[in-house]
Amino acid sequence: MMDVSPSRRALVLGAVAGLVGANKARAVMTAAAPSFDIDPDAPGAKISTLVFGDNEIGVMDGGLPSAVLDRDAGVAARRLGGDLMTTYNWVVNASNAGKNYGNANGAFLLEALQIPRSEWTRPGVVVETMHEASLAMDAKSLVTLPIGRYVAADLAGAVTESERAPSARFVETDWRLGLDADADVTPGTCNLPQLVARLVARYGPAGSARGVFGYALDNEPSLWTQNHPRLAPERMKIAEYLERAVAAARAIKAVDPQAKVFGPSSWGASGMVDFQNAADWSEYSRFGNFLAAYLDAFRLASDKAGKRLLDYLDVHWYPYSARGELFRTDDANLDQARLDAPRALSEAGFIERSWVPRALQHDASGALTLPILPALLRLVAKWFPGTEIAITEFNYGGGARLPSALALADALGRYATNGVGFATHWGSLAGMLVQSYRLFRAPDGSGASFGGRSLSVVANKTEGLSCFAADDGSRLHIVVLNKTTSSVAVDLVVKNDARRLVQTLGFDPARLDLQEIARASARSDGAWRAVLPALSARRYVFA
């Protein structure tokens, strides 16, 4: 269980500000206030705790390893992905860094995960190290597997233009079945089903307590030529890509039928629409967008195979702004854009001020629109019902300041209450970002966290505020975010519910670590009135 007591890391310990006392509440309840109407009796979808996930990046960000920060945050899922996994050769643990580091082959993942040199030659040690860290914190693992033509062959450094694939610096990927876990691992090959078989032999199948939960079919495929010019010097056509993706999924399910398959790990709007203006897009344009074509290909392949070959439609969703780059920055000049950005996930009528809406307009079907989460749900309902939604990369700031933490918390709340099944943040959960997760994941007095089923929340005059509600059948958890620079009084109107407030958790400028906040039972006219300081987050627990 995570400690919710005041942390030594808090920079300021200000006065307690929770739900106001009963006398004060009666005085202010007569004034009009923003309100959130919550109906515990209305139908609600089950919340997947796997949306509270992070990417394993080791010490790529400097500071503490991502696994240490993940444990403190209480993440429920972890992904091993990114550009380095597109080129990862599990036989020799080599990757090609592509444009990120001089197109070199090297021990980048081995070093990032701080694996001892004595272990570098053990096949698959990168994946096993990541998964062992997940098991230690009771989190599910998603492992990215390469489905492109080639992976790195060595740890020998820079790859020149003349050594681009095919060459001795690269090894062809092999998705043919037939090699079991005990078969010899042959240098100069990279058979991916054998890696899956070895993981099943070591940890058990996906449905077991220690098994790998799922496998992602590579990473950001429409950008391979841009990100990996030595490994993928020519654009792969959609037809070949889909053929390779379906074949890989079929092999994974043959080795571990319980494993979840994720794809296509699309990088963003233009990749979702036409596979980054693919050469053969005209052959698929009847679908309107690439994601529809992808889902339909897997639906047909699954019907033919007699089993589901795709479990999660996997996309990356980074916020953008015409005012500047939001990715992993805490620039105060971008605070409003950052705090607004999560609204593009689920808020009807909100339009992100960036290139993204323009890119989505190129979808001939009109299916891909903002807000993006309802659009993705409609897409899978049409083209491959039963497929879940995964957002396996997202980032709302670097975590040095409260606005980044509040934006991240807002995104997490929207994922949890809008039908997303799996989500993993990109970048270590350093600074304030760990508090964004603990807001939802820290156990209350009974050991429960934000989960169960989501409840309908109707907002009234709540500009700059967000609210998410969950009911686990016993306890009601309501998370409220004040993203404004002023203190706000807000009414929480819980319909036909006699449960009483038993605990308040939160963080704000006076308490930078999540902690329990003193409270009084303040209720009047069927509503609880909460007073939230500027730039604050609260989780109210009712039982």
In tens, the pLDDT along 164-185 reads 999 999 999 999 999 999 999 9
Assess contact for 507 and 537: CB atoms under 8 A. yes
For residues 460 and 133, what is the distance between their CA atoms, to the nearest angstrom?
43
* Same domain membership, residue 171 and residue 140: yes
* 35: containing domain: 22-43+455-542
Instruction: List the structure tokens of 482.
Output: 């004040």
pLDDT band at 2 (very low <50, low <70, confident <90, very high): very low
What confidence score (pLDDT) does residue 120 get?
A: 98
Per-residue pLDDT for 113 more than 50?
A: yes
Q: What is the mean pLDDT of residues 98-111?
A: 95
Collapsing DSSP states into helix, strand and coil, what is residue 149? coil
Domain count, the chain: 2
Per-residue pLDDT for 9 more than 50?
A: no
Per-residue pLDDT for 528 more than 70?
A: yes
What confidence score (pLDDT) does residue 447 get?
A: 96
pLDDT band at 31 (very low <50, low <70, confident <90, very high): low
pLDDT band at 7 (very low <50, low <70, confident <90, very high): very low
CA-closest candidate to residue 403, choices 334, 349, 347: 334
pLDDT band at 274 (very low <50, low <70, confident <90, very high): very high
What confidence score (pLDDT) does residue 337 get?
A: 95
157-158, strands of its sheet edge to edge: 95-96, 104-106, 157-158
Per-residue pLDDT for 258 more than 80?
A: yes
| CATH classification of the domain holding 146 | 3.20.20.80
In tens, the pLDDT along 207-236 reads 999 999 999 999 999 999 999 999 999 999
449 belongs to a structural domain: no
pLDDT band at 13 (very low <50, low <70, confident <90, very high): very low
Sign of torsion over alpha carbons 380, 384, 390, 395: negative
CA-closest candidate to residue 441, choices 78, 141, 132, 70: 70
* Percent of residues, the chain, with pLDDT higher than 70: 93
Per-residue pLDDT for 126 more than 70?
A: yes
> Could you write out the three-class secondary structure of 359-422?
HHCCCCCCCCCCCHHHHHHHHHHHHCCCCEEEEEECCCCCCCCHHHHHHHHHHHHHHHHCCEEE
Per-residue pLDDT for 28 more than 50?
A: no
In tens, the pLDDT along 483-514 reads 999 999 999 999 988 899 999 999 999 999 99
Final residue of a domain: which of 443, 473, 499?
Answer: 443
For residues 264 and 386, what is the distance between their CA atoms, to the nearest angstrom?
16
What confidence score (pLDDT) does residue 257 get?
A: 98
Assess contact for 521 and 21: CB atoms under 8 A. no
pLDDT band at 194 (very low <50, low <70, confident <90, very high): very high
Cis peptide before 264 (omega within 30 of 0): yes
Final residue of a domain: which of 443, 473, 493?
Answer: 443
What confidence score (pLDDT) does residue 311 get?
A: 99
Helix or strand run (H / E) with residue 199: helix 192-203
Collapsing DSSP states into helix, strand and coil, what is residue 205? coil
Final residue of a domain: which of 394, 420, 443?
Answer: 443
11 belongs to a structural domain: no
514 belongs to a structural domain: yes
365 belongs to a structural domain: yes
Per-residue pLDDT for 11 more than 60?
A: no
6 belongs to a structural domain: no
Task: Answer with the residue of higher pLDDT: 226 or 23.
Answer: 226
What confidence score (pLDDT) does residue 524 get?
A: 66
* Same domain membership, residue 260 and residue 202: yes
Per-residue pLDDT for 238 more than 60?
A: yes
In tens, the pLDDT along 459-487 reads 999 999 999 999 999 999 999 999 999 99
* Same domain membership, residue 215 and residue 292: yes
* Same domain membership, residue 331 and residue 226: yes
> Could you write out the three-class secondary structure of 30-70?
CCCCCEEEEECCCCCCECCHHHCEEECCCCCCCCCCHHHHH
What confidence score (pLDDT) does residue 80 get?
A: 98
Per-position b or e across 200-224, b if 16+ CB within 10 A of its CB: beebebbeeeebbbbbbbbbbbbbb
| CATH classification of the domain holding 470 | 2.60.40.1180
* Same domain membership, residue 484 and residue 435: no
What is the reported pTM? 0.93
14 belongs to a structural domain: no
pLDDT band at 518 (very low <50, low <70, confident <90, very high): confident
* Same domain membership, residue 163 and residue 95: yes
* Same domain membership, residue 357 and residue 221: yes
Q: What is the mean pLDDT of residues 388-399?
A: 96
64 belongs to a structural domain: yes
In tens, the pLDDT along 421-436 reads 999 999 999 999 999 9
For residues 123 and 194, what is the distance between their CA atoms, to the nearest angstrom?
11
Per-residue pLDDT for 10 more than 70?
A: no
* Percent of residues, the chain, with pLDDT higher than 90: 88
* Same domain membership, residue 377 and residue 293: yes
Assess contact for 81 and 265: CB atoms under 8 A. yes
What confidence score (pLDDT) does residue 526 get?
A: 72
* Same domain membership, residue 208 and residue 290: yes
258 belongs to a structural domain: yes
Rounded to the nearest integer, the mean pLDDT of the chain is 92
* Same domain membership, residue 477 and residue 380: no
In tens, the pLDDT along 397-452 reads 999 999 999 999 999 999 999 999 999 999 999 999 999 999 999 999 999 999 99
Q: What is the mean pLDDT of residues 308-313?
A: 99
* Same domain membership, residue 410 and residue 351: yes
Q: What is the mean pLDDT of residues 154-163?
A: 97
* Same domain membership, residue 209 and residue 272: yes
Per-residue pLDDT for 12 more than 90?
A: no
Side-chain-side CA neighbours of 383 within 13 Å: the count stands at: 26
Report in angstroms the alpha-carbon separations of 497 from 38, 492, 537, 542: 10, 12, 23, 10
pLDDT band at 29 (very low <50, low <70, confident <90, very high): very low
